[in-house]
A and B are shown apart, each in its own frame.
Chain A
Amino acid sequence: MSSYDLNQAPLRDLNRALHALRADTNETHWTITGPDGRHAIAVGLDAPISVEIEGNVGYYCAGMNKLASVVINGNAGVGVAENMMSGFVHVRGDVSQSAGATAHGGLLVVDGNAGARCGISMKGIDIVVKGSIGHMSAFMAQAGTLTVLGDAGEALGDSLYEARLYVRGSVKSLGADCIEKEMRDEHREQLYAKLQAAGLAGEVNPSEFRRYGSARRLYHFNVDNAGAY
């Protein structure tokens, strides 16, 4: 097990050391202390390792993650797990805005609340938020799932493409072209699988969720709107 104290050694050296790891590395478990809100901790990982961060992190933590598991024992700032490709990021506290932004894959689990724009432009990531999410979440989301055990803020799923949004609590308002859709067995199955991946199997009933998705009215330019431009 490797330990790294960010109050003792530079963040850049840590990221460099993590980037140098080969896929078959034996240094598979890293503990990082003293994050103190620093930005871009453990970004760009590309090896099947696990990284535990003890404390609150700043912006873009675990961004561009591939293969690695990153656990943050604290809160995360803007853009946690942004552009993640695969792997697993678990935040035990709250996250700020744009969590999981543009991410193509992997699983992001947030134990607390997420701020605004959670899953903005998501492209395949699965996000599970145990608390509530802020406004404009899943804005222009293209693929993947966003599961929220709490409530969603204003304009959920604005200009949505194809992502599936599952919300257990209330939704303050839906964004343009986002509608509630029927929750069929296939959706309950998918939701169950995502909850299971987040360690919530049996604790949360998929039937309590509502599903939201794209009405697909914004896919093509409507010539009747030509006069509006």
Chain B
Amino acid sequence: MCGIVGLYLKNSKLEPQLGSLLSKMLATMTDRGPDSAGFAVYGSDSHGVKLTLRGPGQAALRKAISGVEEALALTFEKTERDTHTVISVPAEGEERIRAWLKDEAPSVDVVSAGRRMEIYKEVGLPAAVAERFDLAGMTGTHGIGHTRMATESAVTTNGAHPFSTGIDECLVHNGSLSNHNDMRRRLEREGLTFATKNDTEVAAGYLSWRMREGASLQQALESSLSDLDGFFTFVVGTETGFAVVRDPIACKPAVMAETDDYVAFGSEYRALVGLPGIASARVFEPEPAKVYAWERH
């Protein structure tokens, strides 16, 4: 099952409402995924890199962050949100911070890295997860959310979407891939690293690899149609882009709405009914094996 939502704003008009609109969309998809939820929000720009860290609690996160600050003789700008904290770090310090956390604070995970992207995910009902992180209060240009109904693996935060394998890149997935083990091995040979055994993380890694090799988001998704086997509806975000693709069989549901102000995605139309101007939006079902991509300049 699982539910996906995405909202991509074409201009600044609705930016202050991005989080509140996305949180309503996410809550509507509870019926499709009540086990865990997660979302990525592309918000304010940082000078370096924003790292979203997740820990067992604020005390553990604070301890880890002050440890890194001490070790690197730096002070970070921090935003605490429940089990996650976003720190803004100098880009050149990212690798050292990751290495220090891995050795000294193994209970703290780096969920995402990006100039603008932050990712939050937790176990629980989507509305409760959105509230814990105050999604409704967030602003930005685009966001992607996922509600999970666990079928193949345990209900854990690590199994929750979105997955991120590159700076400002994230992916949510409805479906399952059958060649992810082979693809993971191939991508590891290309130097990518994976935090889980999850199939969706492989799809995210595949796109990161393609884009690293020079493909556009559109091109990367087009090649995924022949390289990834299984069934999938993907919604993908990059720093300035937003894209949707469904497998050639169109196993998983998808509805889109477009107006002058936004492009919205929902697993079902129900997720979109709260959007402003939806009654006059162009509502359509994305065709199978066709990449839909938007880029904001």
Contact = CB atoms under 8 A, between A and B. Distances in A.
Nearest to A154: B248
Contacts of B273: 36-37
A78 B255 CA distance: 11
Contact of A116 (B250, B255, B269): B250
Contacts of B271: 37
Contacts of A59: 268
Contacts of A134: 250, 287-288
A78 B253 contact: yes
Nearest to B254: A96
A75 interface: yes
Contacts of A56: 269, 283
A135 B288 contact: yes
A187 interface: no
B69 interface: no
A97 B270 contact: no
B7 interface: no
B268 A37 contact: yes
B285 interface: yes
A116 B269 CA distance: 17
A93 B283 CA distance: 9
B125 interface: no
Given A56-B283, A96-B253, A134-B250, A77 B288 contact: no
A100 interface: no
Given A75-B283, A134-B288, A97 B269 contact: no
Given A97-B250, A115-B250, A135-B288, A58 B283 contact: no
Interface in A84-132: 93-94, 96-97, 115-116
Question: Interface on chain A toward B: helix, strand, loop, or mixed SS?
Answer: loop
A188 interface: no
Interface residues of A, number: 18
A38 B270 contact: yes
B246 to A, nearest CB: 10
Interface residues of B, number: 16
A37 B285 contact: no
Interface in A43-101: 55-56, 58-59, 75, 77-78, 93-94, 96-97
B250 A58 contact: no
Contacts of A58: 268-270
A37 B272 contact: yes
Contacts of B285: 94, 96, 115
Contacts of B268: 37, 58-59, 77
A75 B269 contact: yes
B69 to A, nearest CB: 48
B250 A77 contact: no
**From B249, B269, B283, residue with most partner A Cβ within 10 Å:** B269
A60 to B, nearest CB: 12
Nearest to B272: A37
Contacts of B249: 116, 135
Contacts of A135: 249-250, 288
A114 to B, nearest CB: 10
Interface string B74-118: 000000000000000000000000000000000000000000000
Contacts of A115: 250, 285
B194 interface: no
Interface string B255-297: 1000000000000111111000001000111011000000000
Contacts of B253: 77-78, 96
A75 B255 CA distance: 11
**From A56, A75, A77, A78, residue with most partner B Cβ within 10 Å:** A56
A38 to B, nearest CB: 7
Given A56-B283, A78-B253, A116 B288 contact: yes
A115 B269 CA distance: 15
Contacts of A75: 269, 283
Contact of B284 (A37, A38, A94, A97): A94
Given A94-B285, A96-B285, A36 B270 contact: yes
Given A55-B279, A77-B255, 9 more contacts: A37-B268, A77-B253, A77-B268, A94-B285, A96-B285, A115-B250, A116-B288, A134-B287, A135-B250
Interface of B: 249-250, 253, 255, 268-273, 279, 283-285, 287-288
Interface of A: 36-38, 55-56, 58-59, 75, 77-78, 93-94, 96-97, 115-116, 134-135
7 contacts: A37-B269, A93-B283, A94-B285, A96-B285, A97-B250, A116-B249, A116-B250
The 10 nearest A-B residue pairs measured at CB: A37-B269, A37-B270, A36-B273, A56-B269, A116-B250, A115-B285, A96-B285, A75-B283, A37-B273, A37-B268
